[in-house]
A and B are shown apart, each in its own frame.
Chain A
Amino acid sequence: GAVVSQHPSRVICKSGTSVKIECRSLDFQATTMFWYRQFPKQSLMLMATSNEGSKATYEQGVEKDKFLINHASLTLSTLTVTSAHPEDSSFYICSATPLAVSSYNSPLHFGNGTRLTVT
C-alpha cells in the first residue's frame, strides 16, 4: 500500500517552454503533498507544500510564479515549471502521507521522481 505515482519519469524540454509533472497517490488520499528538488549529489530540498483545495505554501527562495502547484483533489497534485531554463534542470520528487495516518511520526511515501533536462 501507500503507492505514489509520478509522471513523467524523464522529460527534456527547450528553454522557455513549460513542463507539467503529475503526482498521484494511487491507493490513499492525502490533503497534503510535498514537492522536493534534488540537484546532483545533493540532498532533497523542500520546494513547496501542496494543500488540497487551497494555495500551496512555498519555501523561502522558491518562485511561486515559476513553479505553479495545483492540488485539485485528494489524490493528485501537479507541479508546472513555467518558462523553464537550463538552471531548472534537476530531479523533482513528490511525496505524501495517507490522510488516515497523518502524523509527525508517519513516513512520507515518495514518487519515483522526474528528471528534468532543459536544453
Chain B
Amino acid sequence: AQKITQTQPGMFVQEKEAVTLDCTYDTSDQSYGLFWYKQPSSGEMIFLIYQGSYDEQNATEGRYSLNFQKARKSANLVISASQLGDSAMYFCAMREGISNFGNEKLTFGTGTRLTIIP
C-alpha cells in the first residue's frame, strides 16, 4: 500500500484564491511527522510546514496551513491568497518512527503540480 497518496496530479488556481492540496497517509506507528515541500522548476526542495502526530492544533506558517485530520489520516495543505510564485510541484511526505537518532527516512507522495493563473 502507498504510504503517502496525493490524488491531484495537477491543479490550476486563479491568483489570490486559496487552494487546498490533498494528502492522505498510511502508517501503523503512533509517532510520525507529516511534511510539505515545494519544488520549483529549479529542483531544490523547500520545506514549508510540518505536523507532528501528537500535535492537537493544526500547523500554520504564514500563508500555509495544514488541515490535519488524524482519524481520517489526511494532512491537506492550504495555501491562502495564492501568488504567481507559488507555481511549483508540491510534495507531501511522512517520517515515521519513535527513535531520536535521526535515521528515519522521509517517504514522499507523487506530488501535485500547482499552476497559478494571473
Contact = CB atoms under 8 A, between A and B. Distances in A.
A60 interface: no
Nearest to B44: A112
**Main SS of chain A's interface residues?**
loop
A109 to B, nearest CB: 7
A44 to B, nearest CB: 5
Interface residues of B, number: 31
Contacts of A79: none
Contact of A44 (B31, B52, B91): B91
A32 B47 contact: no
Interface of B: 31-33, 35, 37, 42-45, 47, 50, 52-53, 91, 95-111
* 4 closest A-B pairs by CB: A102-B102, A105-B33, A110-B45, A105-B52
Interface of A: 30-32, 34, 42-46, 49, 51, 91, 93, 95, 97, 99, 102-113, 115
